[in-house]
Structure 1
Amino acid sequence: MVHARHCRDCQRVTGSGFVINIWIEKQFVERTGAIPRSFTLKGGTGKDHEVCFCEKCGTYVWSRYQAAPGGDALFVRAGTLDDPDAVTPDIHIFTRSKLPCLRLPEGATVFEAAYKIDDVWPAASKERLRRNPAGQS
Structure 2
Amino acid sequence: MQSGRQFLLGGCFCGKVRYRLTDRPLFTHCCHCRECQSLTGSAFVINALIEADRIEMLCGAPVAVRVPSTSGAPHDVYRCPDCQTAVWSDYGARGWLRFVRVGTLDEPSAITPDIHIYTRSKLPWVRLPEGAMAVEEYYDPRSLWPAESVARYDAGHRAAAIALEG
Pick one of 125, 134, 138 that aligns with 1:114.
Answer: 138
TM-score normalised to structure 1 length: 0.87
AA of the residue aligned to 2:132:
A
The two structures, once aligned, show a CA RMSD in angstroms of 1.9
Deviation of 1:32 (Å): 3.8
Q: Could you tell me which residue of structure 2 aligns to residue 54 of structure 1?
A: 80
Q: Which runs of 5+ in 1 are unaligned?
A: none
Q: Could you tell me which residue of structure 1 aligns to residue 57 of structure 2?
A: 31
Q: Bigger radius of gyration, 1 or 2?
A: 2
Structure 1 distance, partners of 2:146, 2:71, is: 23
Q: Could you tell me which residue of structure 1 aligns to residue 113 of structure 2?
A: 89
Secondary structure of the residue aligned to 1:31 is: strand
Q: Would the alpha carbon gap of residues 117 and 94 (structure 1) be closer, same or farther in structure 2, given more than 3 Å must change? A: same
C-alpha contact 1:10 1:18 (8 A) present in aligned 2: yes
Structure 2 distance, partners of 1:39, 1:16, is: 19
Pick one of 130, 134, 137 that aligns with 2:159.
Answer: 134
TM-score normalised to structure 2 length: 0.73
Q: Could you tell me which residue of structure 2 aligns to residue 22 of structure 1?
A: 48
Q: Could you tell me which residue of structure 1 aligns to residue 13 of structure 2?
A: none
Stretch moving more, 29-38 or 5-14: 29-38
Q: Would the alpha carbon gap of residues 32 and 56 (structure 1) be closer, same or farther in structure 2, given more than 3 Å must change? A: farther
Q: Would the alpha carbon gap of residues 86 and 44 (structure 1) be closer, same or farther in structure 2, given more than 3 Å must change? A: farther
Q: Which runs of 5+ in 2 are unaligned?
A: 1-26
How high is the sequence identity, in percent, across the aligned residues? 47
Greater relative CO (CA pairs within 8 A, separation 6+): 1
